[in-house]
Amino acid sequence: MDKTGMLAGKVAVVTGAGRGIGREIALAMAAQGAAVVVNDLGVALDGQGADAAPAQQTVDEIRARGGRAVANFHSVAEWESAQAIVASAIENFGRIDVVVNNAGILRDAIFHKMEPAEWDAVIKVHLYGSFHVSRAAATHFRQQNSGAFVHMVSTSGLIGSIGQANYAAAKLGIAGLSRLIAMDMSRYNVRSNCIAPSAFSRMIESVPGASPEEKEAALEKRRQQTRADQIAPLAVFLASDAADGITGQIFGARGNEMYLYSQPRPIRTLHRGDGWTPEALAAQLPGAWKSSMTPLERGRNVFPWEAI
């Protein structure tokens, strides 16, 4: 543990920290001096099963490097268990300063075949989970007049994807949640930001739209160019006091590239003194606005270049 690191003296909860991006964030935060609650159920991508090993392995690695960490196996999807996640930080380390909402599952299906259970499961873990853990921490943040939230969102929601309506809706919902947390809690010196990561992980590998041959050909290259450990520095920075004054924003990390995303604002206006009719809109709106409308693109259309 680095007693002079950017997170020295702070306590962080990182959900979904047994593998992938969450694991790398937990390791990086511990390396910068934070005590870390490593939360992970150890479930499969679809949320099935449970395995304590991934969270414990992350904890063991942090401790082997001289850091402080405890494992936690509660679900973010339920209010009471989320309270227990935050309570673990208080009980083991005496406070909580950082929440990283990273836990997630996938239940991909093309929209006309998506079942209510597939919708509910993903919304509960991602959107409800981010609310539950954030709300549990918010009381402590308010009392101590400080705190930082880092939420994981996705280009699936910010830009678009195929077969992920549940995931995209949850992730875009988290962006709105983060924005309102930032506004509601700014008076208590609490910051809330989002990261849209592009890293090769179990979740990203499963995104539909590429053939098995395309996936196989790009596999090793993508692993090397978009690694989970390349996301962690941004999370550490946003959790640290060095990010003071930065709140309500959406950042992206892709390989060695960092992005600041725009957020919805009006870009064109039309005014008609005597008001609008459907016929008047049909006559004027398409020609005036069509060139400014956002096309139906996927992330790979918006980021056509290789990550470097």
Q: Which pLDDT score, from 0 to 100, does residue 308 have? A: 74
Q: Would you tell me how many other CB atoms lie within 10 Å of the CB of residue 88?
A: 20
Alpha-carbon distances of 306 from 40, 71, 215, 262, 302, rounded to whole Å: 32, 36, 15, 21, 12
Residue with tokens 């880092």: 150
Handedness of CA 19, 20, 22, 28 (dihedral sign): positive
Active site residue 167: yes
In the prediction, which pLDDT does 139 show? Answer: 98
Beta strand spans in the chain (E)? 11-15, 35-39, 69-72, 98-101, 147-152, 190-198, 250-254, 257-260
pLDDT number for residue 147 = 98
Report the distance separating Cα 81 and Cα 78, nearest Å.
6
Instruction: List the chain domain ranges.
Output: 11-260
CA distance 176 to 77: 18
Q: Please name the residue that has the structure tokens 């001096």.
A: 33
- The residue from 128, 167, 259, 261 that is catalytic is 167
Query: Within its chain, how far is the Cα of 5 from the centroid?
Result: 24
What does each of the 308 residues of the chain score in pLDDT, given as a tens digit? Answer: 567 899 999 999 999 999 999 999 999 999 999 999 999 998 777 677 778 899 999 999 999 999 999 999 999 999 999 999 999 999 999 999 999 999 999 999 999 999 999 999 999 999 999 999 999 999 999 999 999 999 999 999 999 999 999 999 999 999 999 999 999 999 999 999 999 998 555 455 555 555 676 666 666 676 677 799 999 999 999 999 999 999 999 999 999 999 999 999 999 999 999 999 999 999 999 999 999 999 999 988 898 888 87
Q: Which CATH number fits domain 11-260: 3.30.56.10, 3.30.460.80, 3.40.50.720, 3.40.50.510?
A: 3.40.50.720
- The predicted pLDDT at position 206 comes to 55
